[in-house]
Amino acid sequence: MSTNPSDTNENIKTENSSVPVSNKEQNQEESTNVVKSVDAQLSKESSQEAQSEQILEQSIPSSYQVLHQLSNRSTVNFNKSPSMTTSERERPTVKNTSLDYELQTSDDQSTTPINSINQINKAPETEHATSFATNVLSHTKRDLLDTFKIMKLATDVYDTLFIEELKDSISPLLRALAIRQKYMHHSFQSYPSTIENFLTKILQDDDQYQRTSLNVNLPKREESDPPTTTATKVEDPFTKPLLPPMDACVRVEKGTFRVYTLNEQKQWIPAKNKHITIDEFIEDYTLLSKMIIDGPLQSFCHRRLQYLKTKHELHTLLNEVKEWSEAKLASHTDFYNVQKVDTHIHAVASMHQKSLLNFMKKKMEVSSNMQVYKKPNGTILTLKEVFDELKLDINNIDIDQLGVHADRNTFQRFDRFNANYNPVGKMVLREIFMKPTNYIDGVFYAELLKEVIANLEASKYQHAEFRMSIQGKSMNEWDKLAKWFLKNKMHSTNVSYMIQVPRIFTYHRSSGQLKNFQELLTNLFQPLFDATINPESHPDLFRFMLYFSGFDSVDDESKPERSIIACYTVNPDQWNTSENPPYAYYLFYMYTNILALNQLRKSRGLNIYQFRPHCGEAGDVSHLSSAYILAENISHGLVLRESPVLQYLYYLCQIGIAMSPLSNNSLFLSYNQNPFLEYFQRGLCVSLSTDDPLQFHFTQEPLMEEYSIAAQIWKLSSIDMCEIARNSVLMSGYSDEVKKAWLGLHYKEPGIAGNDIRCSNVPNIRIGHRYEVLCEELRLLKLAYHSRQEEDTDVDTF
């Protein structure tokens, strides 16, 4: 079916679209009349995945072909005007939105809703979804034209000035999307369903070049759907029964744990699990490294990012009042009572400085005679004796003397930042008050963290993902941490835990605690595999593993390092020098072992883990290439502003970025130069986090402090902040059950179908805008792909 082209002299038009701003409850009742139409193939996930991977390998240009194309590419001739092929001349010069297509189709077809849906479902691109205008919106389509305005640009997708760069860019971009899809699937990490469907459907024949569907499969809302967020109870770890042991074992092969099972002949055979080799990773990493320095690809991605930012600004100008009107109809919901997750916070610095000082003073009053520290010579000191030996009077210590807050002297000085973790500059006080493993088994540390947790529980709508450290210097670190967690009952509905692994192999190797890098990997992962295979061997660890959600990799990224290309052939058991392995080396061996662990735990019906490293705070942009391939989401991402190619890929894949502007302001980048606002406007999935409240914040609610300063500096609206809060929940490590309670039962659905304004306070207008723009970018890539296929066919025919 053809579309009606508009006047080609009109560069920008506004077209009314159809996201209703009506009574909230009435809108929810109307959506219950949705007719659900799902493609039969999409219902079979396993077969679909296998078929999709096979199609991708056969149809999308291979890594070798893309590398060959990038290597042979010379300078771009900007003076050459690309010729228009027959298919390009036949296409209209005005891009109609998906919403326009829906409305026109509904007018041309029967007015019966069911017949209209059945006709629309015959279109190849809408086999997986029902009509956007018919199902998501209200009954009378033309009554919805006054809802909100969508920009329709006359010279956007089909501008011949950019078509050459677009065609040069399509093969690398498609291959990059397919690479991430492979790594995320193997490790059971998330990958957007919108991109999944795109990679599958782009390879199917499709005559409707003007159509990139905004159709979404809006599940029917039952009356039992929770109208507001409900508290999710966290079970007591002691109530979790231990699973029986399984007939399996693990062996280390070139730095990666491999699972072996017993067959009927009682022989150990490798489990049929997918894995990634270092050679395969280096091939993909090399391709991505070439992509980010390719001239035409950088130009194309830069233009698209600028377009995304400008279009959001235009959307705000046109629809801000209507967004506010829709938000106001959501009763009893505002920014203060939507769920917010601090997606990047270190437990050791989760309290503010005044809280730490008050806690130390309180302990001196009630526990001054308690034995708390054992000296290297074996002498045991009470808390009072420790302060006397340090010649400190707790009553005379103020915030300035405590010295744990970052200031201008820590800018570009990561060494001074680390030193600030020591109260009054004394390491012994840090060991007594801020470590889980010490002479008093971390009792003070647990009490201090419980004060922070109590504040979170009192706020009800604020949550935190505490990072706890495992250094990998010994095998018993895990058991000690698990014992501390269970003994002090550290579980809470408002707190989730992550494990951070410092990249300090150099220090452990120089001190003689480790002989090679493989020992570090063994200390990190062997206890986890053992506890999963035979929970009775590590009962506390088995229960603790149910309460942390992922792994982080932390350290100063600005340190100079060798490229992984120069040293990847060195196996971990051969890395026995004091030189620290490269960032990508750390990330790959953490990823590949998390992959094996996730596959084992998945087979036992247990929870699995995300990989969410610190990345892009400083250092080389290649760190972001590694994380793009291996990580579900990242923390910081400042360096992403230097690479338009990677930034565009992070946008397309909606990779979560937990940003901490106040932390960056004290360490690496001043607040007014922080790219957070630019990322947000362009549509990247960003959230606000605190990093280290002890060093960067002043109040008992550091996350709200972070939001309030960002809102004032960047003039964020309440809707902007609610969208950021929604992003924080989506990228967090909380379980699917918890996210359903916080965001709605259908939060995984793309676009408006996944939004429940009663939970998120984000208007459907905003969600619809984000989804529309993403689909337009995918349409652009699709058109380029088909155009290139036609050219290749013409050349072969000639």
User: From CA 634, how far away is CA 553, in angstroms rounded?
Assistant: 10
The helix (run of H) or strand (run of E) holding residue 17 is: strand 12-17
Query: What is the CB neighbour count within 10 angstroms for residue 216?
Result: 24
d(Cα 441, Cα 611) in Å, to the nearest integer? Answer: 29
Determine if residue 209 is left, alpha or beta; phi over 0 gives left, psi from -120 to 50 gives alpha, anything else beta: alpha
Look up residue 410 and give its amino acid: T
Q: Residue 48 is which amino acid? A: Q
CA 642/CA 564 separation, integer angstroms: 21
Report the C-alpha gap between 218 and 135 in whole angstroms: 7
- DSSP lists the bridge partners of residue 382 as 371
Which has the closest alpha carbon to 743: 734, 733, 732, 730? 730
Rounded (10°) CA dihedral 414, 418, 423, 429: -160
9: tokens are 């002299």
Give, in degrees to the nearest 5, the angle at Cα 504 between 647 and 661.
40
The identity of residue 539, as a single letter, is P
Query: Could you tell me the two tokens for 8?
Result: 């080609």
Q: Which helix (H) or strand (E) holds 469?
A: strand 462-469
Residues marked active site are found at: 636
Backbone φ and ψ of 278, nearest 5°: -65, -35
Q: How far apart (Å, rounded) are the C-alpha atoms in residues 302 and 233?
A: 46
Alpha helices by DSSP H, 515-578:
517-533, 539-544
Residue 23 three-state SS? coil
Element (H, E) at 304: helix 295-328
Q: DSSP states of 84-98 as a string?
A: PPHHHHHS-SSPPPH
Q: Are 675 and 706 in contact (CB under 8 A)?
A: no
> Is 653 in contact with 180 (CB distance < 8 Å)?
yes
CA terminus-to-terminus distance, the chain? 31
Contact 486, 540 (CB under 8 A): yes
What's 691's DSSP letter? B
Beta-strand pair 268-270/256-262: antiparallel
Task: Give how far the C-alpha of residue 416 lies from the chain's centroid of Cα atoms, to the nearest Å.
Answer: 29
CA distance 700 to 698: 7
Task: Count other C-beta atoms under 10 Å from residue 608's C-beta.
Answer: 17
Residue from 401, 402, 428, 406 nearest 416 by CA? 406
Q: How far apart are CA 162 and CA 158, in angstroms?
A: 8
Q: Which segments of 692-755 does DSSP mark as H helices, in order? A: 693-696, 702-714, 718-731, 736-743
Which among 680, 594, 679, 581 has a CA at the least distance from the CA of 631? 594
* DSSP SS3 for 5: coil
Instruction: Supply 94's token pair.
Output: 């005005």
* Axis-axis angle for helices 443-459, 353-366 (nearest 10): 130
- Round to whole Å and give the CA distance between 621 and 602: 33
Q: Are 73 and 168 in contact (CB under 8 A)?
A: yes
Return the structure tokens found at 376: 């290297």
